[in-house]
Each structure stands twice: as structure tokens, then as C-alpha cells.
Amino acid sequence: MTVTNDIKYVGVNDHAIDLFEGQYDVPNGMAYNSYVIMDEKIAVMDTVDKNFTHEWLDNLANALNGRKPDYLVVQHMEPDHSANIVNFAKNYPDATIVSSSKAFTMMKNFFGQEFEDRRIEVKEGDTLSLGKHTLNFVAAPMVHWPEVIMTYDSCDKVLFSADGFGKFGALDVEEDWACEARRYYFGIVGKYGAQVQAVLKKAAGLDIQIICPLHGPVLSENLGYYLNLYNIWSSYGVESDGIVIAYTSVYGHTKKAVELLAEKLKANGCPKVAVTDLARDDMAEAVEDAFRYGKIVLATTTYNAEIFPFMREFINHLVERGFKNKTVGLIENGSWAPLAAKTMKSMLEGCKNLTFTDTTVKILSALNDESKAQIDALADELCMDYKAQRDETANKNDLTALFKIGYGLYVVTSNDGKRDNGLIVNTISQVTSSPNRVAVCINKDNYSHHVIKQTGIMNVNCLSVEAPFSVFECFGFRSGRNVDKFENEKDSLLRSDNGLVFLSKYINAFMSLKVEQYVDLDTHGMFICTVTEARVLSDKETMTYTYYQSNVKPKPETEGKKGYVCKVCGYVYEGDELPEDFVCPLCKHGAADFEPIS
Ligand code: FEO
């Protein structure tokens, strides 16, 4: 086979192999690729597996057509590529072996010799001229062993990529590239995403027209497609929309739960549900799917106060390969002491950026109404985005979307001529930068609105994540018309140049603002202001509304109560119906900020 005018394919197909690397099913066999670059000097790129010595040497002799090779470039020392180095050296005694220092050490370990008298040791950035063709060596440690080098031929713009861009399957079988390349990648190279990313960065600086891997086909068209997939895989991104359910089942009850969940996921608009029985299906395929999709459900039984062995093996495969950036749901089954969910979660503890669903399904032997309801809840949770994406299932009037706007939380201070005042505000944003203008929206019911409208000045104190709930109670839940919010600090108040107070703690910055324009927004007034003074007091992060809700606001005491709870301050309204005009007596927010107690 000809790759370019000067580059010939001399590899072999292996259909006799049972398990690649002693563990991977390869129903369509395996290819061990090797190439020859014909120039003034001739370079052979890698050898092949030990079972194909003569076939490979024949292929090589045919391609050489009577000439002798000058170099054998050894990019990778795993035996599927290196097994015939000694045979090559014997057949071509004048040829030089070209490889990395680590590879020569491995040759000594494998063959008892490291070719001291006939070798060239190369490292990142080294080149070897063949005449027209210059080989540029690129270090690719851990893609897939530490000694690996890749080679770029700048004449034909070919990257010899070692195991990179390889796949399972012999070259005389037609099959989809991505499926078997993905299974190969996550099975064999998956742990080394960071190293693959490093090589991709180097590759981005090269003009590559053809990729010649050590397994799988030569890639010469639409290289962006392959590079993009490698980028997604090695950065642990989401390649396809959908959900994987990986399960084990002893007597079929967990399987029933999985089938029910799969049905519900499809009904909820999940574009692809990939179900895998870890005891019976191909483990490498299951691992590949776990990395391919963004969401996974693990379902298993409690077994010997642990989890079923195939699930343990599966999770070990994921953890070993740096599983991350996924949403994970758990289903556990146990007849007397279910422990599976806890065990699975603890096994995944070291994985980065996993989000566990709020719902965990607990099955006590067989499905019942309670566990079926949990499956419904899990399906709803996992399909929230799919439902909202589709016209048919989306709630297009879900005004809780407004809560997703990112807000900071601020104490706005002012002075009515008699005393200092402050209130909590979240509706502040910079609206222009030249000049710097800041818009501040304040409810007209608040005394501060009245004061600022008259005085035309305020200080915006940016709360940091250190601020405790007491700050919100002090400035948020009472009116400055009736109380002096600074009475406890009278002797230690700090003031900016405009004479207004700025907070001595719990803020990371403040700005003094002068009102330029006022916009009447019915319930609120918007002050458009210029900045007259600005100071930064700490590097602590700004308190956001989301942070406040999750970390600062005490959990409302709703246990055993029926009614509505204020999302701002946690006030509980007990009763069947919340009046539309209800105003929270604590924080003064309206009915829209209440939600039913569930
Ligand atoms: Fe194809 Fe890592 O050997």
C-alpha cells in the first residue's frame, strides 16, 4: 500500500489474536502498522508483533525493491511494535536504530542489548535528514508508554503518531473508525489525557496532511474530525448527548429497575440511553460509553457488605482512567442492609468534578411504589435539560429562570442627615466603562430609596463570602427609618471622602457613587451613577446570591410544617394558600419569592 509517493505501508493484519494486550476483545482482529520512507536514505518506521516476523520482512523486502534500509525508527517499545527489532537488526546489519533514550533502556530489558555500536538517540526537537525528507522527533511520553516518540515528516507533511489515533480492528475489515478508536483510546491511553493534550498542542503547530498510526487506518481526509475527537476524549469532555446506565443484577430485580429507568429517560426526551450489563457485555465498551456521555447511572446490588464484583471492576476502570466532569446517579439494591450506593460513591470520591444527583434510588429486594417514585424523580432530574430543550416538553414560562441571573450581594450605605443607613441590594451592575457608570435599583418601599433620591450619593459595599447571616439580618430585614443599623459601631465607623460609611469588615471593595440620572420603574427606582471613589480591601471572592442561598442562609425549619417558605430569608408561612399580595414580615420580599414546602 502506498501512503505517498515515497512512503509505503508494510504492516500486517492479525486475525488469529484472541485478546489484544491480554484483555481486549478484538472481533475484527488487529493491525500492526509499519511504514518505509524511501529517499536517499531509507527509514523504516517500527516493526510488528512477534507472530508476523516473516510476513513483515517480506512486505519490507518488497517495498525496498532490492535496496537496504539505513534506519529503523523505534517510536514505541510495546511488543506489538517492537518484537522484531532484533530480527530487523540481523537482516540489515548496516542499519542504525533510531529511538529515545528510554526506549534503548527498554531494549536492553527486552532483548539484552541496546545497540550501542549502531544507534542514534533522539529527543524532542531533534531531526534526521533522509535527503528530501526530514524527520522531526516529537516526545510523546505516556502516549502510551514513557519512551514514546512521534515523528513528523515535514516533506510529505505526515505525522507518524505511534499509538495515537490508533484503533482496534484489522485493515482488511471495513468498520466505523470512531467506535473502535474510542474503545481503544479509553481502554489503552485513557488515563493519560493530560499527556495527549500536550501532544495535540505540539501537533497544532505542524502542517499535518496525513496521520500514520501504529494501529488502524492511515488518516488522510477530514483530519479535523479525528483531531476534534481526540481533543474531546483527552480533555474528558462530553462527546455525545445521552445517558449511560451500567448495571449488575443477580436475580433480575435491579435489571427491572434499570429497564424502567431507561423507559422513563426516553419518555423524558433523552436522545440516547446506552444500557450495559457489566457481567455480560464488553467491559471496554462500557468504559468507552462512560467517558463518551455526560451522565451515567450506576445500578448494583449490595454483596458481601460491598458491591457486586463486576461493578467494582467497572468503577476501578473509571477511577484508574481519571473519570471526571460527569453527572452520576446511583441505584442500589439490598435485601437487608443496602450499602451499594455508599460504596459506589466512596469509590468515586477521588474523581474530579462529579455531580451526584439529589435522588438515589433504594430498592429493598424488588421494586415497590416508593422505589418507582424515586426512579421517576431520578429520570426527571437527569432529563431536566432535555425536557427544556424540546418545544413539546419545555415549560416556556418558567420564571425561575430569572434566579439563574448571577447576582452579587451588596450593602448600600447612605445618610439622611441624622444617621447612617444601609440596606442589602442585589441589583447592581456596571453599565458603561467610559466613563464608569453603575446602575443601582432599589425598591421604593425602602427608606434608603427615599434618602438617596434626596441626597444623590451612596456607597456600594461589595460583600465577600466571609459575610455571616447576621449581616443580612442587620441590613436586610429591618428599616433604617426605625432603627439605627450602625448603633453598635458608632465609635469605630469608617468614612469615605463623600462622608458616608463603608463597612469595616466582610467586604472586598466599596465604591462611592454620585447619582447622574434617575429612572422610575414603578415599584423600584434605578439610580445611574458615576464612581467618585473606589477601594479594594481584600482578595476574597464576592458573595453571590447563589453562594448566600447555599452556604450562608440557615436552612428554614420546615420539618412537619405545611405552607410556604421565603427563599430569601427562610420565613415560613403556614397555610394552604399564600395570598398573592403577601409580603414577608422578615425581609419584605413578596409572594413571588416564596415556594411551597415540599
Ligand atoms: Fe500498540 Fe502501546 O502499543
Ligand 1 centroid–CA 347 distance in Å is: 29
CB atoms within 10 A of CB 482: 7
- Return d(Cα 229, Cα 225) in angstroms, integer: 6
- Return d(Cα 49, Cα 215) in angstroms, integer: 12
Indicate whether residue 163 lines ligand 1 (CB < 6 A). Answer: yes
Ligand 1 centroid–CA 18 distance in Å is: 16
- Return d(Cα 213, Cα 528) in angstroms, integer: 62
CB atoms within 10 A of CB 64: 17
Indicate whether residue 167 lines ligand 1 (CB < 6 A). Answer: no
Q: In the prediction, which pLDDT does 507 show?
A: 97
- Return d(Cα 377, Cα 359) in angstroms, integer: 7
Indicate whether residue 76 lines ligand 1 (CB < 6 A). Answer: yes
Indicate whether residue 39 lines ligand 1 (CB < 6 A). Answer: no
> Quick one: how far is CA 78 from the chain centroid?
30
Ligand 1 centroid–CA 80 distance in Å is: 6
Q: In the prediction, which pLDDT does 567 show?
A: 83
Ligand 1 centroid–CA 177 distance in Å is: 17
What's the first-to-final CA gap in the chain, in angstroms? 68
Contact 431, 519 (CB under 8 A): no
Indicate whether residue 81 lines ligand 1 (CB < 6 A). Answer: yes
Using the Cα atoms of residue 235, residue 240, residue 242 and residue 245 in order, give the sign of their dihedral.
Answer: negative
Indicate whether residue 80 lines ligand 1 (CB < 6 A). Answer: yes
Q: Is the N-terminal amide bond of 435 cis, ω within 30° of 0?
A: yes
CB atoms within 10 A of CB 304: 8
Q: What is the pLDDT along the chain (598 residues), one digit of tens a residue?
A: 899 999 999 999 999 999 999 999 999 999 999 999 999 999 999 999 999 999 999 999 999 999 999 999 999 999 999 999 999 999 999 999 999 999 999 999 999 999 999 999 999 999 999 999 999 999 999 998 999 999 999 999 999 999 999 999 999 999 999 999 999 999 999 999 999 999 999 999 999 999 999 999 999 999 999 999 999 999 999 999 999 999 999 999 999 999 999 999 999 999 999 999 999 999 999 999 999 999 999 999 999 989 999 999 999 999 999 999 999 999 999 999 899 999 999 999 999 999 999 999 999 999 999 999 999 999 999 999 999 999 988 999 998 898 888 999 999 999 999 999 999 999 999 999 999 999 999 999 999 999 999 999 999 999 999 999 999 989 988 788 888 999 888 878 999 999 999 999 999 999 999 999 999 999 999 999 999 999 999 999 999 999 998 999 888 888 888 999 988 788 899 999 999 999 888 777 889 889 999 7
329 backbone dihedrals φ, ψ, rounded to 5°: -110, 150
Give the three cell numbers for residue 148.
514514546
- Under DSSP, is residue 393 helix (H, G, I), strand (E, B) or coil? coil
Give the three cell numbers for residue 274.
446506552
Report the alpha-carbon angle 217-219-222, nearest 5.
140
The candidate with the shortest Cα–Cα distance to 462, out of 417, 499, 402, 513, is: 513
Indicate whether residue 144 lines ligand 1 (CB < 6 A). Answer: yes
> Quick one: how far is CA 503 from the chain centroid?
39
Ligand 1 centroid–CA 29 distance in Å is: 15
Ligand 1 centroid–CA 112 distance in Å is: 21
The candidate with the shortest Cα–Cα distance to 85, out of 70, 102, 72, 75, is: 72
Report the alpha-carbon angle 268-269-275, nearest 5.
85
Q: Which atom of ligand 1 is nearest to the CA of 78?
A: 3
Ligand 1 centroid–CA 79 distance in Å is: 8
Ligand 1 centroid–CA 431 distance in Å is: 57
Residue located nearest, by CA, to atom 3 of ligand 1: 78
Q: Which atom of ligand 1 is nearest to the CA of 144?
A: 2
Q: pTM of the entire structure?
A: 0.82
Residue located nearest, by CA, to atom 1 of ligand 1: 163
Give the three cell numbers for residue 500.
458616608
- Return d(Cα 410, Cα 419) in angstroms, integer: 19
Indicate whether residue 285 lines ligand 1 (CB < 6 A). Answer: no
- How do beta strands 273-277 and 240-247 pair? parallel
Ligand 1 centroid–CA 227 distance in Å is: 19
Rounded to a whole number of angstroms, the CA Rg of the chain reads 33
- Return d(Cα 319, Cα 190) in angstroms, integer: 11
Ligand 1 centroid–CA 107 distance in Å is: 15
Ligand 1 centroid–CA 215 distance in Å is: 8
- Under DSSP, is residue 421 helix (H, G, I), strand (E, B) or coil? strand
User: CA-CA distances (angstroms) from residue 408 to 411, 436, 461, 463?
Assistant: 10, 18, 11, 8
Indicate whether residue 292 lines ligand 1 (CB < 6 A). Answer: no
Indicate whether residue 214 lines ligand 1 (CB < 6 A). Answer: yes
Give the three cell numbers for residue 561.
410544617
Q: In the prediction, which pLDDT does 478 show?
A: 79
Q: Which atom of ligand 1 is nearest to the CA of 145?
A: 2
DSSP H helical ranges for 301-432: 309-320, 340-347, 369-382, 384-389
> Quick one: how far is CA 190 from the chain centroid?
14
The candidate with the shortest Cα–Cα distance to 410, out of 504, 516, 545, is: 545
Give the three cell numbers for residue 138.
516529537
